[in-house]
Amino acid sequence: MLDGKPIVAIATDRTKNRKTGDMIQTWILRADQDPLAAVFSGADSSICGDCRHRGKNTKAEPRTCYVTVAQAPLGIWRKWKSGGYPKGPLPTHKPVRMGAYGDPVAVPWQAWTGLHSANLWTGYTHQWRQLIASPFRNVLMASCDSEQEEKLAQLMGWRTFRVMKPGTTGTALECPSNKGAQCAHCGLCSGLNRPDAPSVWIEAHGTAKAFV
């Protein structure tokens, strides 16, 4: 939905991710090139849009995304290429993480409509300024990287999720995963589905956190 290029959304139901806990993980990937190649060619814009954490593979603008693309995304893409995943609707027998890698807005809204049969989900988008993201306000958090972005997104009706530089704190609610909570039980990050819940911040994490 971002640029018309071929993408695929893959749901996996086993994870060792201690922060999320036991959730269906969804991976949004270019269909025509592996995720590592897509990062290097810039074709990952089809699945991440203009998210600044993609970087530009330069010293001045390094990649700061917390996802290590050469690990799970690459393995999952290869398994999909070899026919390892059956086609089907979004599984919802467990809490769902929309976009373990990739922006959920890249996937047609209709593909997510089974989501409401899940008892809990989480998801984030950097595309919150775009009209295409409007239907997702009910299910996703707006990913923000500054106080100005937070204010603007909140004015536009989003709940926000902000990644802070290591050692700094935000003004919204600190993500309780810092104290051991898991998304699979917390579920705060589900957009206006939780209209009275606060916005959230978290300290940068992952191998590239020092560059955030």
Q: Which residues, at least 6 apart from 104, have a Cβ–Cβ distance to it below 8 Å?
A: 26, 28, 98, 112, 123, 124, 125, 136, 139, 140
- Rounded to an integer, what distance in angstroms lies between the CA atom of residue 140 and that of residue 143? 9
Q: Which stretch binds ligand SF4 (CB under 6 A): 9-17, 33-41, 71-79, 179-187?
A: 179-187
Residue in 69, 188, 204, 212 binding ligand SF4, rule: CB under 6 A? 188
Of the residues 91, 176, 193, 194, which one makes contact with ligand SF4 according to CB under 6 A: 176
Torsion angle, alpha carbons of 84, 85, 86, 87, to 10: -130
Measured from the CB atom, the residue of 76 and 188 that comes closer to ligand SF4 is: 188
The pattern of x and - marking residues 93 through 132 that bind ligand SF4 according to CB under 6 A reads -----------------------------x----------
Q: Is 181 in the site for ligand SF4 (CB under 6 A)?
A: yes
Positions in 16-75 near ligand SF4 (CB under 6 A) = none
DSSP run (H or E) holding 165:
none
H or E, element range at 25? strand 24-30
Among 183, 199, 201, 212, indicate the residue that binds ligand SF4 (CB under 6 A).
183
How far is residue 99's CA from residue 14's CA, in Å, rounded to a whole number? 15
Binding site for ligand SF4 (CB under 6 A): 122, 175-177, 181, 183, 186-189, 200
